[in-house]
Amino acid sequence: ETGVTQTPRHLVMGMTNKKSLKCEQHLGHNAMYWYKQSAKKPLELMFVYSLEERVENNSVPSRFSPECPNSSHLFLHLHTLQPEDSALYLCASSQDLRGGNYEQYFGPGTRLTVT
C-alpha cells in the first residue's frame, strides 16, 4: 500500500449505530487530519493530530470521536449520527504541521450516508 488509505470507502448507517472509519498513511508523516466534505460547502477541518497528540478540535460534535494510536493510523468513531452528517470524510497526512510548509496528502475518502 502506498500513500493514504481509508476504509471503508462507503458506509451506510442508521442513527443508532456505532461505526468507525479507519485511515492509514504509509508516508512516514507526523501529522494527520480528518476533514468533512459536504455538498456545496468548503472543506471543513475536523481534527488534527501531531505525533499522536490532538492539536485541534474545531467545534466538532461529540458524536464524532477521533483516535490516533500511532503516527500511521487515525480513526474516527461515529455514534448516534444525524442525517446531516452524511458527507465524504477525508483523511490527510503531512510531514509536519509547520505553517503550511508541508502539503497534505489525502486518502480517497469514506462516503458516509446516515439513514
Residues that bind other proteins (CB under 8 A): 31, 42-43, 45, 48, 55-56, 88, 90, 92, 94, 97-101, 103-109, 111
Q: Which is nearer to other proteins, 15 or 27 (CB)?
A: 27
CA nearest to 36, candidates 45, 24, 28: 45
Sign of CA dihedral 12, 75, 26, 96: positive
C-alpha cell of residue 15? 442513527
Q: Which is nearer to other proteins, 70 or 101 (CB)?
A: 101
- In the complex, minimum distance from the CB of residue 16 to other proteins, in angstroms, rounded to a whole number: 27
Helix (H, G, I), strand (E, B) or coil at 59: coil
- In the complex, minimum distance from the CB of residue 10 to other proteins, in angstroms, rounded to a whole number: 10
